[in-house]
Amino acid sequence: MRPSESTNLYFNQAADRLGMAEWLRKLLVTPKREVTVQVAFERDNGQIETVLGFRVQHDNSRGPMKGGLRYHPAVDLDEVRSLASLMTWKTAVVEIPYGGAKGGIGIDPKTLSRKEVERMTRVFVDEIHEIVGPDTDIPAPDMGTNHEVMSWFRNQWEKYHGFNPAVITGKPVEEYGARGREEATGRGVGTLAVKLMKRLNVRPEQCRTVIQGFGNVGSHAAKFLSEAAFPVIAVSDLSGTYYNPKGLNVTEMLSYSFKNGNQLTGYSGAERMPGEALLEMDCDLLIPAALGDVIHKENANRIRAKTIIEAANGPIDPEADAILSAKKVTILPDILANAGGVTVSYFEWVQNRQHYRWSLDRVRQELDRTMTDAFENVWQQSASLDISLRTAAFMLAISRVQRATELAGMSH
């Protein structure tokens, strides 16, 4: 199944429950605009490299479109289309005044030097600068991009349009970035893990937690949860799985990875296992925080976790979702679980537009409130209609986008 088909399947499960008319479904799933551009940039050896860049603007009925930029070899138009649509539902679930978009380039940035990534980013901006802006479409970091890439993006965009840091979020803190933006997605995942396990009557000390991915999202979630007394018994990154049944020393692993180019390669404070071992481990809570589609029909039956929190975008495909739901596994869906990142992006944009800077405490408090309100709404909806948390989240999101669409005059 292609990524956009998976996302639309989840959309349709909720649209069915809402009894939504066919014309409206078509209107809401069809992206407003899809752009593919040539990104031709100079390698350090003088050769010209040509790759494809994408920006999909899915929906703007609730506000300017918003979503990250992903640099990864698997990026193609269909993946970006699916991720753009997820952003529309994500911003609606947490009720921030944005629509959804996503962009990216199909390349592995680890094969490029820092200067090459900068040149590629600047060319990408040259190609798409007319369709992004603080009132239309606001990019942000995603897999393979970081605050430095945001800085280059902003600098190049401002060459055409003048000073306006609100054109992009996830910027360096010293250059109009928000305090707490980098930790925000992982922190939001951690905050909701605490709420969810409380609802499920599992005490933190009993909740053996396993996290796939130790990048920006996975590492901050691990930190938050170990501080909240959850035993984080395994984490993995590209170098393999690191395991300790009594709980890993997350603080030590974070500083090791930081000093080691953001990788755990060579870390010796835990038992080593192959990367694939992690998903099927005996645990109470599984947090996939890396790529999409890692849980599919071939491995779904071997998953032993009773609860899964989708920190990555789209880690469970619909076939696996059906298998896991039949096994009564509780799944907190991506559009709610990982919305902390875009929520603090919104706070960054607000600060930029007000030329006023919030303290880290304020960012954390407002993030906590936004995530908690959204979680409580989704939980109530799921309990009162006896439906999955995913369908409940999609129903709330879709109803809000539908309402905005109708208020804009689109109705039969």
Name the site residues for ligand GLU (rule: CB under 6 A).
66-68, 90, 140, 142, 169, 313, 338, 341-342, 345
In terms of CB distance, is 105 or 323 closer to ligand GLU? Answer: 105
**Residues facing 288 on adjacent strands:** 212
Residues 63, 68, 71, CA angle at the centre, nearest 5°?
Answer: 155
Please identify, using beta-carbon distances, which residue of 226 and 351 lies nearer to ligand GLU.
351
User: Which residue is catalytic, options 66, 102, 171, 223?
Assistant: 102
Q: How far is the CB of 252 from ligand GLU (least distance, A)?
A: 28
48: burial class by Cβ within 10 Å (0-12, 13-18, 19+)?
A: exposed
Nearer to ligand GLU, 191 or 345 (CB): 345
Closest contact distance (angstroms) between CB of 183 and ligand GLU is: 13
- The CA distance from 132 to 96, in Å, is 19
Closest approach, Cβ 390 to ligand GLU, in A, equals 16
Q: Which is nearer to ligand GLU, 88 or 345 (CB)?
A: 345
Compute φ and ψ for 110, nearest 5 degrees.
-70, -15
Asked whether 343 and 373 are in contact (CB, 8 A), the reply is no
Tokens of 74: 């698997």
Q: 346: which 2 tokens?
A: 């919104």
Residue written as tokens 């991915």?
213
Using the minimum distance from each CB to ligand GLU, give the nearer residue, 42 or 368.
368
**Is 102 a catalytic site residue?**
yes
**What are the distances in angstroms from CA 384 to CA 85, 296, 377, 379, 389?**
26, 29, 11, 9, 11
Residue 11 phi, psi dihedral angles, 5° rounding: -60, -45
Answer whether 264's CB lies under 8 Å from 237's CB: yes
- Shortest gap between Cβ of 138 and ligand GLU (angstroms)? 7
In three-state secondary structure terms, 139 is coil
Q: How far is the CB of 217 from ligand GLU (least distance, A)?
A: 9
What is the C-alpha to C-alpha distance for residues 65 and 36, in angstroms, rounded to an integer? 17
Residue 288 Cβ vs ligand GLU, minimum distance, rounded to whole Å: 14
Rounded to whole angstroms, the Cα distance separating 206 from 31 reads 44
What is the Cα 318 distance to its own chain's centre?
A: 18
Helices (H), 228-331: 250-259, 318-326
Distance in Å, CB of 67 to ligand GLU, minimum: 5
Q: Which is nearer to ligand GLU, 63 or 318 (CB)?
A: 63
Q: In the bound complex, which residue of the shown chain has the CB atom lying closest to ligand GLU? A: 68
Q: Which residue, 8 or 91, is less far from ligand GLU as judged by CB?
A: 91
DSSP 63-84: SSEE--EEE-TT--HHHHHHHH
Please list the active-site residues: 102
